[in-house]
Amino acid sequence: MSERVRDTGSAAIRERVRAVLPQLTDDPSTVDLPAFRVDRTGLLDVMRVLRDAPECGFQYLSCLSGVDYPDHLDVVYHIFNLQNGAGVCLKTSAPKSDPVLPSATAVWPGANWHEREVFDLLGVRFEGHPDLRRILMPEGFDAGYPLRKDFVDSRPAKVRLVRSR
């Protein structure tokens, strides 16, 4: 790493990312990190560039989380460059009628369990994930995705009890 980029100010990061990925749009709702919004069709290519381009080098996926909005589901990636400490926030979204996104495990293997959690609690299906199973809820749980705002636990108490045995 002879050419380490030392300037980790928000504007400088934004400028460097935009130099290699001009198709990204700014997301002003995030203030602590430079945030970009990307369409789900080009998501994997953008991720690879963010990881591999020398201007970016975001080789560490710190957090992958899902957000439930009234009409769509967001997935938020917080990625960091461990050499210079720079980080960006990448957001993508999927409609609730078709909650499918490409899996980030091909780029950052650490996304594995994060994506399983988002799948488990919000119902986003990650295509290309090696082992997309529930991770937190019991194996037999079939009442839906409990962290969605419209989730109603329709199971009668007795059924819950029997299942828990």
Partner 1 sequence: MDVSGQDAPRSWLGTPPPEAEGRSSEELPVPLWQHLPGVLTGNVQSFINWARSNSIWYMTFGIACCAIEMMATGASKYDFDRFGMIPRASPRQTDLMIVAGTVTEKMAPRIKTLYEQMAEPRWVLALGGCASNGGPYHEGYNVVDGVDKIVPVDIYVPGCPPRPEALLHGVMLLQEKVRWVQSAEKTART
Query: Which residues would be at the binding site for partner 1 (CB under 8 A)?
Result: 136-138, 141, 143, 146, 151, 153, 157, 160-161, 163-165
Considering the complex, state which of residue 41 and residue 154 has its C-beta at the smaller distance from partner 1: 154
Element (H, E) at 157: helix 157-164
Q: How far is the CB of 151 from partner 1 (least distance, A)?
A: 7
Pick from 163, 60, 53, 72: nearest CA to 123: 72
How far is it between the farthest Cα atoms of the chain?
Answer: 64
CB of 125: closest distance to partner 1 in angstroms?
A: 20
Cβ proximity to partner 1, 63 vs 161, nearer residue: 161
Measured from the CB atom, is 100 or 161 closer to partner 1?
A: 161
1 versus 157: smaller Cβ distance to partner 1: 157
Q: Do residues 102 and 42 make contact, with C-beta atoms less than 8 angstroms apart?
A: no
Minimal distance in Å, beta carbon 154 to partner 1?
A: 11
- Closest separation in Å from C-beta 131 to partner 1: 18
Q: 3-state secondary structure string, 130-141?
A: CCCCCCCCCCCC
List CB contacts of 161: < 8 A, sequence separation 6 or more.
none
The C-alpha atoms of residue 140 and residue 50 are separated, in whole angstroms, by 38
- Name the minimum Å distance from CB 124 to partner 1: 18
Q: Are 103 and 143 in contact (CB under 8 A)?
A: no
User: Is the CB of 98 or the CB of 139 nearer to partner 1?
Assistant: 139
Q: Tell me which residue has tokens 């560039």.
A: 49
